[in-house]
Structure 1
């Protein structure tokens, strides 16, 4: 669980636990409530990645690994996310990166406070 000591703004940087993000590289930041669509997409991606590993090395275990991947994704699902859009440094363009994820409404409130603080 994140608290105010874990995520804070200071000296034009955003600090999340031990990670430091300079605000000059962040284009946009948002606190997002992850919906069912987001969760299902994550479950599908993780289970497919686990299945691919199975198909590559031992095809008979691929369906089992797909179920294990789906179970892992379900057990580690989070409801809220703090994410930032970073300026691209090459021709790949700008990209969104999840900075923190949480399950409790207190964390979501903290994420929204950070978004408001960056916007000032």
Structure 2
């Protein structure tokens, strides 16, 4: 009988899971891995549960953009690129997202940016902890 943890180990090798150490909240900024964001630019932070519709939009968008580029330059591989990008899109399926609303610096206004996306309950809890820490900073 096959062990259920084999699949988790394989995914763990392909994708890095977020841990509390990946986030650093200071008085002036937020660091997520190698990315740094100034708190003065962040208006709000929230953890959002992603549904099938959010993920489907991401998958279809990725598939259409990449396959359109392939059809433009190498038309005979257009359908192969479309199928391949759907597979890649499904591998990027996420359940939770830590996102921030940044203050607009021009006439385009404020905008939301996904800081981190995760699948597990542990990642969701880490995101909630970061959200709470950032709300306490403001």
TM class by shorter chain equals over 0.9
2:107 alignment counterpart: 91
Structure 1's unaligned 5+ residue stretches are none
Q: How does 1:3-82 map to 2 (within 5 A)?
A: 3-82=19-98
| Aligned structure 1 segments of 4 or more residues deviating by more than 4 angstroms | none
Higher-Rg member (1/2): 2
> Structure 1 length as normaliser, TM-score?
0.93
Q: CA RMSD in A?
A: 1.1
**Contact 1:32/1:82 (CA < 8 Å) preserved in 2?**
yes
* Matched positions, count: 120
How far, CA to CA, are the matches of 1:42 and 1:76 in structure 2?
9
**Contact 1:27/1:85 (CA < 8 Å) preserved in 2?**
yes
Whichever structure has more helix as a proportion of its residues is 2
